[in-house]
Amino acid sequence: MKPPLPADPAAAPAHRRLMVIYLGGGLDCHQLLSPRRGANRQAYEAARAGLALPDHPRSALDADWQLHPQLPALHRQWTRGRLGVVPNVGPLLRPTDARQYRERSALLPVQLFSHSDQNELWQAGAPLAEVEGGTGWIGRLMEALHPQFNARALLTPMLSASGPQRAFRAQALRQVGLGKDGAEPRFPGYRVAPGVVALAQSIMNRVPDGRAHFAHPIADEYARAQRRAQETVEVINEAIRAVPLATPFPVLPELRTAARLFKADAALGRRRSASFFVHGGYDHHRNLSTLLDARLKELDAGLAAFFEALAELRIEDEVLTLIYSEFGRCLVQNGSGTDHGWGGHALLIGGGLRGGLYGRTPDLGRKGPDLVDARGLLLPSTATEQLHAEIARWMGLPEARLPEVLPLLPRFPRLALDWA
């Protein structure tokens, strides 16, 4: 029997929302978070003679580490005590050290340097063979929370601005895709011939009470599905229209839509919800400096607007933003770029998190415990399950039920983030 959620819903926080931003392509973690001094700085400069960022005091997190200088909005969150950095996190099957990796005496995740496979592992929240029904960690989390927090919701708690996501797959709950400004009609007229649109609309109009009348199970289910889709579009767009927002979004309007829907949660009957957005273009095997500057500059501008919007809507402490990439990059440069790695750095902003560095910052020395080959491959010191578990706890999942969401979690120690 599954342990119950807290008996008194009023005792739990009223609203908690998760904003997931996936930086597709393998963000170069050593440029995101670079060393400022000491042995790590020497190793960084030696490995990246043509790419190493100079010391940039305005981007400093502390005496030893700095954020990329194209991320001033994120750095402002650090100075406000709202940014948590989880260094060197990645998929693991169990705690593994450098000796075990080199001797091949430890089981390792499959296809370590594959974009698609590592993205699947991050989103599944466990080795794929151990995940029932192809679900994702957020889908399993939301289904566990659903009876307590979202039983009367008018809308699914999982909305993606970037198409279907493995993280949102669940046994019963649905995920819904959005356009940049809201839900798009199922049959927009400019994409489909007007006669087809009219036919589909006529079918939906024949099931106004939610029941189909075609005397054939396939036709009936098609009609019901079209009707549900149209009703969902109307619910989403009506919820967005009911939330005025003055904050301008020069880029990434998908984040504006997410903020407005988070604010609409009370009207939608959702006390727990999650949104997903993919910001791609981080696979920089060449021209790293120029291309990464441009991607991070756009990301930071979108995040600046998003954080301002949350403050305007007075929900910034109710929204936790997770930013991650499927893997980091090797420390040693390869021409003007860098090759696929393993461990990378994740960021958490808001939600009452007390800012800081969580977990263990990497030792970039060639003979240290974190680099495991000549290319400077980072062996993760924190497993993705440890990071995801902290988010699940924040969302309100009891400790005893964490393994149903993250099956490998009992193998790892607690990361223990600090919440206000």
Each residue of 169-196: pLDDT tens digit? 999 999 999 999 998 765 555 566 778 7
2 inside domain? no
Cα–Cα dist 187/414, whole Å = 47
Beta strands in 280-357 (DSSP E): 319-324, 344-350, 356-357
pLDDT at residue 231, as a whole number: 84
Q: Tens digit of pLDDT for each residue in 243-258?
A: 999 999 999 999 999 9
Cα–Cα dist 264/243, whole Å = 7
pLDDT interval class at 7 (50, 70, 90): very low
3 inside domain? no
pLDDT interval class at 274 (50, 70, 90): very high
Tell which wins on pLDDT, 132 or 104: 104
Q: Kindly state the average pLDDT of the residues 309-322.
A: 98
Cα–Cα dist 321/334, whole Å = 32
194 inside domain? no
Q: Which of 144, 141, 112, 114 is nearest to 125 (CA)?
A: 141
DSSP letter string over 217-239?
HHHHHHHHHHHHHHHHHHHHHHH
pLDDT at residue 210, as a whole number: 54
Q: Kindly state the average pLDDT of the residues 7-11.
A: 51
222 inside domain? no
At position 104, the amino acid (one-letter code) is R
Q: Kindly state the average pLDDT of the residues 199-206.
A: 69
| Locus of tokens 């063979």 | 129
98 inside domain? yes
pLDDT at residue 126, as a whole number: 87
Domain that holds residue 327: 15-181+239-411
Grouping H, G, I as helix, E, B as strand and the rest as coil, residue 23 is strand
Q: Tens digit of pLDDT for each residue in 220-233?
A: 777 777 777 778 88
Asked if pLDDT for residue 308 goes beyond 80, the answer is yes
Question: Percent of the chain having pLDDT more than 90?
Answer: 80
190 inside domain? no
pLDDT at residue 186, as a whole number: 58
Q: Tens digit of pLDDT for each residue in 365-406?
A: 998 999 999 999 999 999 999 999 999 999 999 999 999 999
Cβ–Cβ < 8 Å for 164, 149? no
CATH number at residue 306: 3.40.720
pLDDT interval class at 211 (50, 70, 90): low
pLDDT at residue 132, as a whole number: 66
5 inside domain? no
Cα–Cα dist 194/192, whole Å = 6
Strands 158-160 and 65-67: unpaired
| Locus of tokens 């607690």 | 414
Q: Kindly state the average pLDDT of the residues 138-145.
A: 97
Q: How many domains does the chain fold into? A: 1
199 inside domain? no
